[in-house]
Amino acid sequence: MCPWVCLHAPLFWRCAAPTADSVFVVIYLCKFNNGDGAVSSSVLFVHGRRCFQSWGFGRRGVRFLLIGNDFLLFPNPILLRLFALKPRHIFNFKFVMLPAMFKPRAFAASFSLVPTEGFFPRSGKGRLAVMNSTSGASTLVEPGTGQTNGIQRLTIIQPDDWHLHLRDGDGLNAVAPLSAGIFRRAIIMPNLKPPVTDLAAALAYRDRIMKALPSNAEFEPLMTLYLTDVTTRKDVKDASESGLVKAVKLYPAGATTNSQAGVTDLFGKCLPVLEEMVEQGLPLLVHGEVADQMVDIFDREKVFIETVLTPLRQKLPDLKIVLEHITTEDAVKYVESNSDGKVAATVTPQHLLMNRNALFQGGLQPHNYCLPVLKRETHRRALVAAVTSGSSRFFLGTDSAPHERHTKEAPCGCAGIFSAPIALPLYAEVFDQADALDKLEGFTSLNGPDFYGLPRNSNTTTLVKKRWNVPTEYGFGPGTVVPMWAGHALNWNIE
């Protein structure tokens, strides 16, 4: 029997090619930890793609869905409303999956599911054995994948983070050593208050970063400029010639944290600056969302690609562009459609591991709120397919963006997810689930420096498959910051 798990999200399993003759039997217990310890049970019979729920209090408590090979169980929101569950309630399920106790002739070649240990955090993903009901043979299946490749230890070239927020002051002193302990280099975002708009500001910020690092750190901050309507060609030329500034960041005004000074006239006031960037070979890093409040927040990336990025590429085809923290299938297709090597994209761990349901499961989840906002499951899957494909156009960019806990857990909470110290294990989870660990090094360590024209790192990093729990918080200035998947288990860690 599986351990109790809090059903924050749908439970996903992938089974071996379910057919119209497949039979699953699910026996589950439903417990409300609301003071009375009420427990009830129910049974589901699943034949092919139909689900028959039988007896018990929980007969309408769970819904079933089968998409491709993905077997989903998820809580019925009507039930949650019916019992007026509040945040203090814990809605738990315990599952047993057994072979059917009856086998009509049509079921002779069926498959059944039996549990083994382990559940993935928040997503609720479980690890199951697929057992042939005739032979009894079973093999371990990783959630969301086909057969596991069995890798328990993996050594890769030390990765870089191509999109990182280090903040400033006490916050910088707290988080810079965490990134420096994992990544060799990082592209540092310039959206401070005031923003980093010229070489002098970039060099001063770089000095503060270096002072925040341990004396033995081998970490190189790659600086960027914040593009504004008043940025000049000279600003870009000076920055490029310094050798320390590697890119210019485009924030549409009002699109994200500290973007008030962002661009309002890209094709007018900023055009000479963009032309200078082409001459200098300096990439433009793009927060790819329109800031128009009349555009649905879930559509802003798609609209940006259509109305800004496509015309920009037509006007300046030689400008190197990184579409940062992409979130949609539209962005994946756009990057893949530009085959001239001038367009690439960073992808975050949160957009690979969570969809927009994670914002609302069990109440509003402020620590899952970021910009661009999490999207539909179809988009998440497209991102996973892109990064695990081996394409050189996608690379690691955590967009790790720490905020003090009280500023996230607030009536008007800040956007940003802090992932830096656990990002590499998170990415390993994604590639492991996709049976693509052989593609991890390209995404984390090769594609980024190749696009930027920088040498690959010479050091290595080793990951081991060993279960551990993410810390619930880290120190951050006078307060704390809550990391992604705080307090939950991961299967991979850095040796």
Which sequence spans correspond to the domains of the chain? 5-141, 153-494
Q: Model's pTM, two decimal places?
A: 0.72
CA 444/CA 341 separation, integer angstroms: 18
Q: What is the pLDDT of residue 150?
A: 78
CATH superfamily of 153-494: Metal-dependent hydrolases (3.20.20.140)
Q: What is the pLDDT of residue 483?
A: 98
Which listed residue (8, 47, 287, 351) is catalytic?
287
Which candidate, 2, 3, 30, 29, places its Cα nearest to that of 113? 2
Q: What is the pLDDT of residue 247?
A: 99
Q: What are the residues whose beta carbons fall under 8 Å from the beta carbon of 332, sequence distance 6 or more?
A: 326, 345, 382, 383, 385, 386
Which listed residue (320, 399, 408, 432) is catalytic?
399
Which listed residue (246, 249, 320, 351) is catalytic?
249
Active site residue 163: yes
Q: Which residues of the chain have pLDDT under 70?
A: 1-149, 254-260
pLDDT tens profile 330-347: 999 999 999 999 999 999
Task: Spell out the alpha helix ranges (H) of 268-403.
Answer: 271-280, 300-304, 310-315, 329-337, 349-353, 377-387
Which listed residue (125, 163, 375, 465) is catalytic?
163
Active site residue 403: no
Active site residue 399: yes
pLDDT tens profile 222-237: 999 999 999 999 999 9
Task: Spell out the alpha helix ranges (H) of 149-282.
Answer: 169-180, 199-212, 233-242, 271-280
Which listed residue (125, 325, 351, 465) is catalytic?
325
Active site residue 249: yes
State the number of CA atoms in the 13 A half-sphere of 47 facing the CB: 11
Active site residue 287: yes
Q: What is the pLDDT of residue 261?
A: 73
Q: What is the pLDDT of residue 273?
A: 97
